[in-house]
Structures are given as structure tokens and as C-alpha cells.
Amino acid sequence: MDGNGRWAQMRGKPRAFGHEAGVEALRNTVRGAGELGIKWLTVYAFSSENWSRPRSEVRDLMTLLKIFIRRDLKEIHREGVRVHVIGERESLSADIRSLLEEAEKLTVNNVNMNVVIAFNYGSRDEITRAAIRMAAGISAGNLDPKAVGPEDFEQYLDTAGIPDPDLIIRTGGEQRLSNFLLWQAAYSEFVFFPFFWPDFNKSSLVEAIHTFSERERRFGGLDAKVKAS
Ligand code: IPE
Ligand code: MG
């Protein structure tokens, strides 16, 4: 969800105005994805690198998360959406942490759709934490390092139990992953939009899915026609 700040700047407004508009776009996107029958939607809400922004902007982003959860959790729950949170939790303030836990607990039995909020998330941090936990298992003698494969390792990631993304969409014109789901994106398709996140809506989502449907995914194999010949 990139480009909130530039969207606001273009209108001569403070960046916070863009973040607020970004939350509105997020709200519409979750709704739109549900209507389209999408089962898993992951949003990159706050990265482990976003702490380097001015303190006032970090505070604005934290406040917006609180407002989003307080205001939208009920509707999300009513719609049968299950909320998952990935990212480093320990260093978050207690109030943010308990809101995230509340969202997960309240929605744990919902099955219509899954929304994964990446908050204080960075892939390198996630992979490092996973490696440390796995190493602890090995040194405790609970795990044989010779028998460990990628399917075992990924059980230690924050995304254990969450399917890898088929499609990753980034708005705002930048064409990079910025520490998002590095492991999980191994075979994801990418769609980049030049416009800013607050302008994203259900029809952008439909357009991205249409582009995705025209891609040929081979997962390192051969395409069906070549294989048959
Ligand atoms: C939203 O856009 C991203 C976050 C939620 C942190 P930005 O805040 O990165 O906006 P730009 O890229 O500066 O325009
Ligand atoms: Mg940005």
C-alpha cells in the first residue's frame, strides 16, 4: 500500500491526510476482495523499517491502526473474516499488541475470508527469528538438522499455515519488494500500479486479477504445450 504521502502532497495536504485516505482504500479493498471471493488478502501496513520515519508520522500510523481496528473490527467479524497478524510483536507497545491479539481472538473461528495484517513486519527479521527458533530446537535435540527441509523451516515463519501469495500488488510506482514476504514470494506474480494507494479500489483489484489470469505460471517446470510436444 504505497504512495499515501505523495497522494497527500499532490493535494497540498499533510502526509497524515494521505494515510487516512489510505485506510479508506484499505476498507474498500477488504470489502471488494470479499465480494470477489478472495480467500486470503495480506496487507503491508507497517514495516519494521517504518520506525525510521519522523516520530510524529509513526504516531499517526499507530493511531490509524487503532482507529481501524476499533472502528472496523465489528464489521470484519460480522462478514466472517478471520484476522491474522504477522510481524514482530514483542517490541510493540502493550496497547497495540493487545488490539492485534483481540482482532485475532475475536475472529479465530471465521472462515469466509482471511485478512493478514503485516505489522512491524520485515521479511529479514521474520526469517532471522525463524532461524533462531529452529536452531534452538536443534540444540535442544528436538530436531535433526540433516532431516530439515524448506517445508520444515517455513513452519517457523510468521506465515506458518498461511498460503504463499499468488499475486502481489504494489501501488505508487516503485517496483520492488521492500522486505515483504521474501521467502513466500518465490513464485508470486507481481503487478505494479503507477498510481498511489488511496486511489486503489475494487476495480484496480479486478484489473490486477485479470493481468494475473493472463500470466503463465510454470513454477520452474515447463509449460503444458512444450511438455506435450
Ligand atoms: C503508505 O505510503 C505506506 C505505509 C503505510 C507506511 P507511504 O507513506 O510510503 O507514502 P509515500 O511513498 O511516501 O508517498
Ligand atoms: Mg512509500
| Enzyme catalytic residues | 2, 50
Residue nearest to atom 6 of ligand 1 (CA): 46
Q: What atom of ligand 1 comes closest to residue 7's alpha carbon?
A: 14
Cell of 158: 510468521
Q: Helix or strand or coil: residue 201?
A: coil
Choose one of 1, 4, 24, 65 to mutate for the ligand 1 pocket test, by most ligand atoms within 8 angstroms of C-beta: 4
* Structural domain spans, the chain: 4-121+164-174+189-227
- The band of 100, judged by pLDDT with boundaries at 50, 70 and 90, is very high
Centroid of ligand 1 to alpha carbon of 3 (angstroms): 5
Higher pLDDT: 34 or 70? It is: 34
Q: What atom of ligand 1 comes closest to residue 3's alpha carbon?
A: 14
pLDDT, residue 228, reads 72
Choose one of 1, 2, 23, 26 to mutate for the ligand 1 pocket test, by most ligand atoms within 8 angstroms of C-beta: 2
Centroid of ligand 2 to alpha carbon of 3 (angstroms): 5
Centroid of ligand 1 to alpha carbon of 10 (angstroms): 13
Is the Cβ–Cβ distance between 13 and 87 less than 8 Å?
Answer: no
- The band of 173, judged by pLDDT with boundaries at 50, 70 and 90, is very high
Cell of 55: 516520530
Mean pLDDT of 171-180: 98
How large a percentage of the chain has pLDDT more than 90? 95
**Distance separating alpha carbons of residues 207 and 191, to the nearest angstrom:** 10
Q: Tens digit of pLDDT for each residue in 35-91?
A: 999 999 999 999 999 999 999 999 999 999 999 998 999 999 999 999 999 999 999
What is the model's pTM? 0.95
Q: Which residues line ligand 1 (CB under 6 A)?
A: 1-6, 22, 50, 172, 197
Centroid of ligand 1 to alpha carbon of 52 (angstroms): 13
The DSSP string of 103-168 is HHHHTTT--SEEEEEEEEE-HHHHHHHHHHHHHHHHHTTSS-GGG--HHHHGGGSTTTTSPPPSEE
Architecture category of domain 4-121+164-174+189-227 in CATH: 3-Layer(aba) Sandwich (3.40)
